[in-house]
């Protein structure tokens, strides 16, 4: 293969991705003086990455397979715009050897490894065989070509339960299932294959021994076309949920200096087995004593910023320099470890509803400034819409500090100062995770989140006196801001009255919606003289001063900062006590909102029916699976809300259903 065609200097780069990774790549590319081309689907016409790029090309409909996964359209977009190179980001086609080869055949530089390297290392099965030959320690398992049910079942029996059924292609927890007994194996394989096919276009599976209480450690590597191959220290990615990383940090707090040297040397050996060129990650699992190779990701990782912060290296810049055909600018002994970095993934999802993805328009987007060791990689802005067609990640928040404890504190402060509304996010969950004493003590494994889920998703405490006063202040402050639109309005001054004093009564309920919590009442006294708030028998002096993103509330001489968002009768408050959702009771009545019944078997979000798991007329126990939807690239199984008979199924496999549409009816047994 002609090296001058593989690696050469270019001036225009097409980013074959979307969201935060597209925005992150664009920023480095533009800083290097290169032109950028974005691609987008019909659902992403107004997306942030489209606005940031010099040019943008429409690929097609919203579904990824019709747009971001369409290799021919991506290459045609490069031709239209004069792009000489393509950066795949992560996910989508980033580890697709056929796409890498198609780029080469079209005369484009692919910013990543060659198709041959990707084939050798991108397949979990293929890479295990290669590592076995190279003498890299492996988790016991099966990674053969035969994929029939009998072969997989025999392999599982030989390895011994519990096992891990895992997609050979891709990553991110897609197509992965823990199987603890033989009778769970067949349905797990069917489900994992279906999910893997939808996410990666490849449903091949491998079987691994499941390591109980494991830790996930990975090493960043990068190689150039001159034979240089470097490791950039390791990351700890043990805090996971459903095999999806939630928190990542570098370096690993689990390894000592000798262990660090050993695992990094093993990673270089693994990548050297294919003379690897480009950025990649060698992933290991540890049982507390030994470290086993599990796979290589032949691309940039979501968590690459923590490595950048502890090394001072821009990995995207190094990717591009490698693609130019340049030698890496540093030698192994010149790469220094500095401090500690921690990253949290901010998702549009509801942790209190089994992490159900959340879609809709972002009405408020307030993230702290990138100062004091804080970095934010984002793909969204206020006013953007989160669609159901793609991964639900909104942003990554990364904190650096000289020590792990301070980095965690900085990250948590950044999370506490973040307000994203219009959709539900996992920000409170992330904050609870970072403040958990066992996380601080590094007493964790990959099952930690599942075990501690009840603690990490505790309901918001009832609003205290402070929150009720803050709620009144938020309403008053909002009215005052609206009055500023009217020139010379006396209501611009809080509490203005021509003479005398008046009262105004407020009532709030905890939570959003009219059916949440009992009413809590508070009275505002205002007019001539100081304004006061009365709660029960207590009367407090009260003042409000507006500031950016909220206001300062002073109660009996104590000032506190409050962040507030008001949407109709719904209030969101952030005080020193945490985050609170409140409902302002309509003083004129008329609140006839009805809650959707918990017994309704309906689509929680727009999605595609991928499996019907029960037949009409079947007798069902409470919790029995009825059908499976694919929502935001993840499968959601809808289950019987009570024991009964499946009266009807109102959909079929392949149907695209909208949020709230009833999909099945269960007639209760009366027990």
Contacts of range 98-104, beta carbons closer than 8 Å, 24 or more positions apart: 98/71, 99/71, 99/74, 102/71, 102/72, 102/75, 103/75, 104/1, 104/5, 104/6
Residue pair 240/171 in contact (Cβ under 8 Å)? The answer is no
- Return the CATH architecture of domain 465-584: 2-Layer Sandwich (3.30)
Nearest Cα neighbor of 333 from 259, 231, 226, 221 is 231
Distance CA 16, CA 103 (A): 11
Helix (H) or strand (E) holding 187: helix 185-200
DSSP state of 444: -
Catalytic residue (one of 299, 345, 375, 480): 299
> Can you give the pTM of this predicted structure?
0.81
Nearest Cα neighbor of 431 from 452, 446, 417 is 417
pLDDT in tens, 19-48: 999 999 999 999 999 999 999 999 999 999
Distance CA 432, CA 448 (A): 13
Coil, helix or strand at residue 468: helix
Of the chain, the end-to-end C-alpha distance in Å amounts to 71
Residue 19: strand pairing partners? none
Residue pair 100/115 in contact (Cβ under 8 Å)? The answer is yes
* Positions of CATH 2.40.50.100 in the chain: 601-668
* Positions of CATH 3.30.470.20 in the chain: 215-456
8 belongs to the catalytic site = no
Residue pair 330/527 in contact (Cβ under 8 Å)? The answer is no
CATH class held by domain 140-209: alpha beta
* Positions of CATH 3.30.1490.20 in the chain: 140-209
Q: Which two tokens stand for residue 527?
A: 């007019």
Nearest Cα neighbor of 232 from 328, 354, 325, 109 is 328
Q: 215-456, what's its fold? A: D-amino Acid Aminotransferase; Chain A, domain 1 (3.30.470)
Nearest Cα neighbor of 365 from 378, 349, 352, 351 is 378
pLDDT at 591: 52
- Return the CATH architecture of domain 601-668: Beta Barrel (2.40)
pLDDT in tens, 306-361: 999 999 999 999 999 999 999 999 999 999 999 999 999 999 999 988 898 999 99
SS (H, E, C) 211-235: CCCCEEEEEEEEECCCCCEEEEEEE
Coil, helix or strand at residue 558: strand
**Hey, what's the torsion of the CAs at 428, 429, 432, 438, to 10 degrees?**
-170
Distance CA 91, CA 466 (A): 45
Residue pair 669/644 in contact (Cβ under 8 Å)? The answer is yes
DSSP state of 351: G
Distance CA 454, CA 457 (A): 5
Q: What are phi and psi of 515, to 5 degrees?
A: -100, 5
What's the CATH code, domain 3-111? 3.40.50.20
**Hey, what's the torsion of the CAs at 342, 345, 346, 348, to 10 degrees?**
-170
* Positions of CATH 3.40.50.20 in the chain: 3-111
DSSP annotation string for 362-417 = --EEE---S-TTEEEEES--TT-EE-TTS--EEEEEEEEESSHHHHHHHHHHHHHT
SS (H, E, C) 51-86: HHCCEEEEEECCCHHHCCCCHHHHHHHHHHHCCCEE
Displacement of CA 606 from its chain's centroid (Å):
19
- Which stretches of the chain drop beneath a pLDDT of 50? 489-493, 496-498, 590, 592-598
Residue 405 CA: distances (Å) to CA of 257, 276, 308, 409, 435? 19, 35, 19, 6, 11
Coil, helix or strand at residue 39: strand
Distance CA 602, CA 612 (A): 14
* Positions of CATH 3.30.700.30 in the chain: 465-584
Residue pair 323/111 in contact (Cβ under 8 Å)? The answer is yes
Residue 58 CA: distances (Å) to CA of 53, 65, 577? 13, 14, 46
Do β-strands 619-620 and 634-639 pair in parallel, antiparallel, or remain unpaired? unpaired
Displacement of CA 106 from its chain's centroid (Å):
33
pLDDT at 594: 36
Buried b (16+ CB within 10 A) or exposed e, 544-557: beeeebbbebbbee
Helix (H) or strand (E) holding 19: helix 19-31
Q: Residue 101, Cβ neighbours under 10 Å: how many?
A: 17
DSSP state of 138: B
- Would residue 460 be called left, alpha or beta, if left means φ above 0 and alpha means ψ between -120 and 50 degrees? beta
Residue pair 520/470 in contact (Cβ under 8 Å)? The answer is no
- Would residue 336 be called left, alpha or beta, if left means φ above 0 and alpha means ψ between -120 and 50 degrees? beta
Strands (E), 210-320: 215-223, 229-241, 244-250, 278-286, 291-297
DSSP state of 486: S
Helix (H) or strand (E) holding 629: strand 625-631
Nearest Cα neighbor of 635 from 92, 64, 206, 177 is 177
Q: What are phi and psi of 668, to 5 degrees?
A: -65, 150
DSSP state of 589: -
Residue pair 192/127 in contact (Cβ under 8 Å)? The answer is no
Coil, helix or strand at residue 516: coil
């Amino acid at each position: 293969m002609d090296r001058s065609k593989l690696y050469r200097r270019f001036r225009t780069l097409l980013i074959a991705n979307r969201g935060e990774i597209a925005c992150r790549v664009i920023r480095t590319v533009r800083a290097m003086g290169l032109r950028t081309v974005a691609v987008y689907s019909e659902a992403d016409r107004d997306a942030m990455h489209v606005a940031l790029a010099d040019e943008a090309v429409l690929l097609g409909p919203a579904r990824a397979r019709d747009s971001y996964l369409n290799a021919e359209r991506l290459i045609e977009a490069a031709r239209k715009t004069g792009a000489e190179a393509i950066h795949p980001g992560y996910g989508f086609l980033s580890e697709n050897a056929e796409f890498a080869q198609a780029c080469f055949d079209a005369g484009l530089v692919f910013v990543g490894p060659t198709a041959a390297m990707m084939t050798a290392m991108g397949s979990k099965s293929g890479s295990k065989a290669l590592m076995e030959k190279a003498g890299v320690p492996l988790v016991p398992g099966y990674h053969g070509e035969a994929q029939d049910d009998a072969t997989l079942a025999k392999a599982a029996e030989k390895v011994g339960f519990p096992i891990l059924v895992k997609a050979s292609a891709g990553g991110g927890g897609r197509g992965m299932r823990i199987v603890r007994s033989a009778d769970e194996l067949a349905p797990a394989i069917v489900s994992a294959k279906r999910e893997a096919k939808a996410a990666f276009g490849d449903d091949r599976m491998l079987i691994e021994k499941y390591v109980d209480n494991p830790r996930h450690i990975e090493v960043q590597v990068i190689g150039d076309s001159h034979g240089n191959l470097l490791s950039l220290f390791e990351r700890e990615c043990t805090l996971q949920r459903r095999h999806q990383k939630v928190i990542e940090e570098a370096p690993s707090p689990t390894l000592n200096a000798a262990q660090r040297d050993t695992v990094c040397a093993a990673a270089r050996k693994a990548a050297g087995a294919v003379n690897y060129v480009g950025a990649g990650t060698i992933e290991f699992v540890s049982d507390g004593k030994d470290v086993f190779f599990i796979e290589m990701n032949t691309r940039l990782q979501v968590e690459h910023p923590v490595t950048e912060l502890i090394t001072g290296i821009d990995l995207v810049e190094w990717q591009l320099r490698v693609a130019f055909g340049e030698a890496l600018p540093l030698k192994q002994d010149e790469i220094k470890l500095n401090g500690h970095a921690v990253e949290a993934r901010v998702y549009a999802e509801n942790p209190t509803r089994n992490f159900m993805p959340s879609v809709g328009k972002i009405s408020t987007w307030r993230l702290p400034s990138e100062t004091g060791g804080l970095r934010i990689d984002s793909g969204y802005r206020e006013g953007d819409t989160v669609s159901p067609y793609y991964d639900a990640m909104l942003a990554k928040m990364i904190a650096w500090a000289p020590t792990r404890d301070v980095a965690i504190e900085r990250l948590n402060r950044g999370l506490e100062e973040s307000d994203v509304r219009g959709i539900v996010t996992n920000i409170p969950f992330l904050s609870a995770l970072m403040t958990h004493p066992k996380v601080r003590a590094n007493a964790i494994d990959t099952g930690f989140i599942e075990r501690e889920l009840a603690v990490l998703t505790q309901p918001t405490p009832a609003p205290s006196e402070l929150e009720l006063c803050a709620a009144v202040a938020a309403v008053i402050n909002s009215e005052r801001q609206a009055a500023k639109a009217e020139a010379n309005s006396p209501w611009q001054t809080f509490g203005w009255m021509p003479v005398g004093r008046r009262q105004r009564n407020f009532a709030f309920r905890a939570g959003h919606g009219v059916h949440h919590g009992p009413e809590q009442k508070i009275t505002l006294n205002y007019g001539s003289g100081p304004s006061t708030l009365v709660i029960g028998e207590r009367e407090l002096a009260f003042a409000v001063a507006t500031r950016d993103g909220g206001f300062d509330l002073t109660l009996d001489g104590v000032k506190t900062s409050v962040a507030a968002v008001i949407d109709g009768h719904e209030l969101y408050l952030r005080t020193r006590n945490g985050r609170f959702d409140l409902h302002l009771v309509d003083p004129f009545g008329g609140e006839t909102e009805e809650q959707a019944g918990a017994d309704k078997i309906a689509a929680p979000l727009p999605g595609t029916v991928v499996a019907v798991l029960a037949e009409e007329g079947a007798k069902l126990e409470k919790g029995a699976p009825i059908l499976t939807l694919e929502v935001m690239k993840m499968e959601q199984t809808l289950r019987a809300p009570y024991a009964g008979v499946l009266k009807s199924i109102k959909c079929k496999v392949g149907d695209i259903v909208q949020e709230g549409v009833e999909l099945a009816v269960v007639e209760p047994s009366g027990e």
